Structure 1
Amino acid sequence: MQSSNIPASSQWAISDVLKRPSPGRVPFSVEFMPPRDDAAEGRLYRAAEVFHDLGASFVSVTYGAGGSTRERTSRIARRLSRQPLTTLVHLTLVNHTRAEMEQILQEYSELGLTNLLALRGDPPGDPLGEWQSTPGGLNYANELIELIKQSPEFQHFDVGIASFPEGHFRARTLEEDTEFTLAKLRAGAEYSITQMFFDVEDYLRLRDRLVAADPVHGAKPIIPGLMPITSLRSVRRQVELSGAQLPRELEERLLAAANGDEEANKDEIRKVGIEYTTQMAERLIAEGAVDLHFMTLNFTRATQEVLHNLGMAPAWGAEHGQDAVR
């Protein structure tokens, strides 16, 4: 049952969803990005239908730099929540004053969107550039969490955060990154979702660091973020934007599959990528991950192929009864 202080229009809290039994080997969830046009938005909804039918535990919707997708994010999240899909909305501090943050939280609350991923966010135009504070705004994600948890009108929000298996690139050491993460958890965040990573050992060491530093807050659920690799160009772009590292062994396997011509050998590259992500997922399941969070780029095929390899979904393709979304 939902807590009595949560509005009746709200969905299940993600922190409660993670405790519920899963029909599959482990719960899985997916991330969507606000599309740029109506056609892409239609594709997102078709993808959402597929993941609904496959039993996704929740879906998340990212937030454009500086609030550039605010209205579309809200509209999409509201529609997904009515599908019904438990829906997590990302929110960043970029280009927002404290008053604007409060207004956005009020809007989300009125829409019943009370699952929130609290993020500081990346500087517009250059995700790896220097952080620029907004006059009258907040500077750190833990400040947003404190605003939520210390405000009676917002305390019903269930809050998650981002965590970084390789350490956030702005942190000088892994120890400093650990303290940044714990500050957000201590402020009231209930769980974290990791940035994409490609080495399961990095995830396990993150889990170990947090628990060692704080056995109470550091033991909160850490959901691994996975991006199935479908092309060299795509994974290079995502690595560049995120600051994550591509393991040398994986890069060599992808280059060997490309054999000097990425376009001609795209199917072989994809095969290696899906196999690698499947192997990561198998290890994460064995290590007790509470959920697998797939970064879909608003497509279904790659994620469904991984889920099928894990025995958690039917084979993908129109010949198997699935709509060809990708």
Structure 2
Amino acid sequence: MNSLKELINIKNINLSFEFFPPLDIHKDKKFWNEIKKITYLQPKFMSVTYGANNGNKTRTFNFVQALKLYTKINIAPHMICVNEEIKTLKKLAMKYFRNDIKDIVALRGDCINKKNNAKIYARDLVILLKKIEDFNIFVAAYPEVHPEAKSFQFDLMNLKNKMDSGANQAITQFFFDIENFLRFRDKCVGIGIKKKIIPGILPIYDFNQVYKFCLMSNIFVPTWLKKLYFNSDDSIKNDSCIGKDLAINMINTLYKEGVYDFHIYTLNKLNFINSIFGN
């Protein structure tokens, strides 16, 4: 299969893409050429990750500005509230709003220590942002339960609380079991969540890297998927053929189930991502 265009009219789906800030946003011409190709897909928005503990907070803001200027597309920076002071969060939110950034992905973020030492949570950040300005707020959802959640129901109610507190939409953690997502979507409807739940899709470029993410984040990896990689020729794995076909099949299957919005976690592998969509 060459690309998703062979199966779906791309105009019939809403796409968004997540990036992390490059080390030097001005030097990598190839990166910006690939970004330009992604704009041909007319994404609804692009999100940018925020490094709470690795020193790239300034890079996030600079990249958000550069991306908005270059693409003219809505940019949704991540805002992390763990280990942050309220006044710092207010200052950053107002800075974004003054620079015409009105979409925010509101997250708690990872605690520095293994023990949960968070002072405020994503719901608190949602409330804070809505008090400052009428931001369009995205929050995280977990089809296979957040690793720190007491139970599935607890996690589900936490999502509902975030939505009821002012979040406009949710983006899910990535997953590979489509049935898990569809059951989660039904459960959301069942407890009164009427706002959009956007599935997060992570195309596999490097299986070993993604598998580590899964182990850290409580993400189910189906046996068939592990066998597919472990039993495949190295040249096929390195060429990312499997990951490309998997992403195409996931989006196509979800589309047939009435899902028309997809958030793509790019890991900045933009040439690979563009190949999935036939760019």
Query: Equivalent of 2:181, from 199, 203, 218?
Result: 203
**Is 1:287 paired with 2:257?**
yes
Correspondence for 2:5: none
TM-score, normalisation: structure 1: 0.77
**Is 1:102 paired with 2:90?**
yes
CA deviation profile, 1:270-315 (whole Å, cap 9, x unmatched)? 222221221111111112223111111112233223223xxxxx4x
Alpha-carbon distance in 1 for matches of 2:83, 2:28: 25
Correspondence for 1:193: 171
Alpha-carbon distance in 2 for matches of 1:155, 1:39: 31
Correspondence for 1:274: 244
1:157 Cα shift?
0.8
1:184 Cα shift?
0.2
Amino acid corresponding to residue 42 of structure 2 in structure 1: G
Query: Equivalent of 1:252, from 205, 227, 240?
Result: 227
Amino acid corresponding to residue 203 of structure 1 in structure 2: F
Alpha-carbon distance in 2 for matches of 1:24, 1:143: 36
How many percent of aligned residue pairs carry the same amino acid? 28
Q: Is the 8 A contact 1:34 1:41 kept in 2?
A: no
Alpha-carbon distance in 2 for matches of 1:251, 1:40: 37
Correspondence for 2:4: none
Higher relative contact order (CA 8 A, sep 6+): 2
TM-score, normalisation: structure 2: 0.89
What are the ranges of 5 or more consecutive residues in structure 1 without an aligned counterpart?
Answer: 1-21, 309-313, 315-326
Correspondence for 1:118: 106
Query: Equivalent of 1:306, from 273, 276, 279?
Result: 276
Paired residues in the alignment total 270
Secondary structure of the residue aligned to 1:24 is: helix
Alpha-carbon distance in 2 for matches of 1:241, 1:81: 32
CA deviation profile, 1:40-66 (whole Å, cap 9, x unmatched)? 765543332121123222111011124
Correspondence for 1:164: 142
CA deviation profile, 1:104-130 (whole Å, cap 9, x unmatched)? 111111111110011000123x7xx32
Query: Equivalent of 2:204, from 216, 219, 229?
Result: 229
Alpha-carbon distance in 1 for matches of 2:157, 2:259: 22
Alpha-carbon distance in 1 for matches of 2:15, 2:55: 28
Q: CA 1:40 to 1:30, structure 2 compared with 1: closer, same or farther past 3 Å?
A: farther
Query: Equivalent of 1:27, from 14, 20, 23?
Result: 14
1:156 Cα shift?
1.9
Q: Is the 8 A contact 2:17 2:263 kept in 1?
A: yes
CA-based RMSD: 2.1
CA deviation profile, 1:178-234 (whole Å, cap 9, x unmatched)? 0011010000001000111111111111111111111xxx12111111111122222
What are the ranges of 5 or more consecutive residues in structure 2 without an aligned counterpart?
Answer: 1-8
Alpha-carbon distance in 2 for matches of 1:197, 1:160: 18
Alpha-carbon distance in 2 for matches of 1:119, 1:106: 17
Query: Equivalent of 1:176, from 147, 154, 157?
Result: 154
Q: Is the 8 A contact 2:14 2:43 kept in 1?
A: yes
